């Protein structure tokens, strides 16, 4: 490496440090629970496991700060597969879940559309810091993404996935 190349490389390194860039793990969760779900589902569609890990967790914080990398990636990949869709929408909160709801938790339902199937998947979000995290996604309601729905449009069962 020539002296000029070293100086340029050092300048690029110093400029990067001076910009004060933050890692994705340091980006705060959205302050609106529905925005958290929207961002999480956008990450599902983009196969962005880093953003999914930043938005999935408990009242103690994001999963990416709590789980080892291998376990985190396996869980996020599984959720990404089961939540894959052609389109999705957030439905009004489930009234049966909002009565007597735990403080700092919100219950939503998202409707996925894929392969002529429209499963409705319960999602729980919890407060963490000044924002909200996706705490659980009931994958039992998502059905098998490799199959089309049986004749009632209702998916096959899988299992609930909670952090």
Contact 109, 21 (CB under 8 A): no
Multiple choice CATH, 28-162, 3.30.1300, 3.30.460, 3.10.450, 2.30.29: 3.10.450
Distance CA 90, CA 108 (A): 7
Please identify which residue in the block is written with the tokens 């789980």: 67
Ranges of each domain in the chain: 28-162
Question: Residue 57's beta-bridge partner residues?
Answer: 62
Average of per-residue pLDDT across 81-105: 81
pTM: predicted TM-score of the whole model, two decimal places: 0.75
pLDDT tens digits, one per residue of 137-149: 999 999 888 887 7
Examine the pLDDT at 24 and tell me if it is beyond 70. no
Count of all residues that appear for the chain in the document: 163
Which of 51-65, 98-112, 139-153 is most confident? 51-65
Examine the pLDDT at 23 and tell me if it is beyond 80. no
Contact 38, 134 (CB under 8 A): no
pLDDT tens digits, one per residue of 103-112: 889 999 999 9
Sheet harboring 105-113: ordered strands across?
A: 87-91, 105-113, 120-128, 131-138, 160-162
Q: What is the pLDDT of residue 155?
A: 53
């Amino acid at each position: 490496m020539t002296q000029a190349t070293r100086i340029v490389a050092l300048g690029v390194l110093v400029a990067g440090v001076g910009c004060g860039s933050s890692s994705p793990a340091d980006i705060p969760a959205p302050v609106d629970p529905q925005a958290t779900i929207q961002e999480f589902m956008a990450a599902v569609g983009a196969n962005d496991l880093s953003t999914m890990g930043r938005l999935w967790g408990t009242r103690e914080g994001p999963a990416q700060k709590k789980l080892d990398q291998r376990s985190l990636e396996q869980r996020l990949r599984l959720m990404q597969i089961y939540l894959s869709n052609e389109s999705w929408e957030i439905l009004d909160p489930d009234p049966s879940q909002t009565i007597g709801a735990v403080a700092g938790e919100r219950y939503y339902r998202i409707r996925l559309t894929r392969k002529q199937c429209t499963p409705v998947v319960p999602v729980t979000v919890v407060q963490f810091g000044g924002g909200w995290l996706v705490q659980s996604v009931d994958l039992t309601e998502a059905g098998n993404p490799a199959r089309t729905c049986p004749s009632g449009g209702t998916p096959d069962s899988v299992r609930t996935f909670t952090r």
